[in-house]
Amino acid sequence: MFTNTLFLLSAVLTLGGAAAVVYTKNLMHSCVYLLASLFGVAGLYACIGADFLAATQLVVYAGGVVILMLFAVMLTGGSGNNINRYGLEKITAMGNTKTFFMAGLTAVVTSLVILKILASVFKSHSATVLTANEATVDKLGTLLATDHILAFEISSVLLLGALVGAAVISRPRKEKHD
Q: Which residues bind other proteins (CB under 8 A)?
A: 1-2, 26, 28-29, 32, 35, 51-52, 54-59, 62-64, 66-68, 70-71, 74, 132-137
How far apart are CB 8 and other proteins at their closest, in Å?
17
Would you say 48 or 115 has its CB closer to other proteins? 48
How far apart are CB 101 and other proteins at their closest, in Å?
30
Would you say 25 or 115 has its CB closer to other proteins? 25
Q: Please give, one letter per residue, the 3-state secondary structure of the chain.
A: CHHHHHHHHHHHHHHHHHHHHHHCCCHHHHHHHHHHHHHHHHHHHHHCCCHHHHHHHHHHHHHHHHHHHHHHHHHCCCCCCCECCCCCECCCCCCCHHHHHHHHHHHHHHHHHHHHHHHHHHHHCCCCCCCCCCCCHHHHHHHHHCCCHHHHHHHHHHHHHHHHHHHHHHCCCCCCCC
How far apart are CB 49 and other proteins at their closest, in Å?
10
Would you say 67 or 109 has its CB closer to other proteins? 67
How far apart are CB 113 and other proteins at their closest, in Å?
38
Would you say 134 or 153 has its CB closer to other proteins? 134
